[in-house]
Amino acid sequence: MLKKAMRHNSGGGVPHVKFKEPKYYDGIRNEKTPGNFLWDMEQYLEWLGLSDDETQVKVAAHFLMKDAKMWWRGRMDQIANGSADDITSRDEMKEALQTHFSPQDETWEARTKIKYIKKTITL
């Protein structure tokens, strides 16, 4: 994730570190993807040095796409009309994403795998 490149200048060669942005999260529901996205995002936000919760939530929301972005837009609409609690911190966003996108039980996971098999195997 980190790419380190040394830049030598007249000040004595201060290292310049590039930090790769996290991958966008598209709302895939499985046991790994939401957690990996959230971990990458936490690392990225810490690297950016953002301490303001509202800014952290906005930056993290920028990396949502497809189903995840549609869920976020719907959640923001619910918050605006008072039918859902506001998400004001990185921890609240993390909990909301995990609650919505992490598989809830083995039955759901099994159905997802069966759908995948049906789509990839032709008889």
pTM score, whole prediction: 0.70
9, part of any domain: no
Please give the tally of structural domains in the chain.
1
Structure tokens at 116: 């995948």
* 54-68 pLDDT tens trace: 999 999 999 999 999
Please write the tens of the pLDDT for every residue from 57-107.
Answer: 999 999 999 999 999 999 999 999 999 999 999 999 999 999 888 877 666
Annotate 40-100 with DSSP letters as a single string.
HHHHHHHHHT---HHHHHHHHHHTB-HHHHHHHHHHHHHHHTTSS----SHHHHHHHHHHH
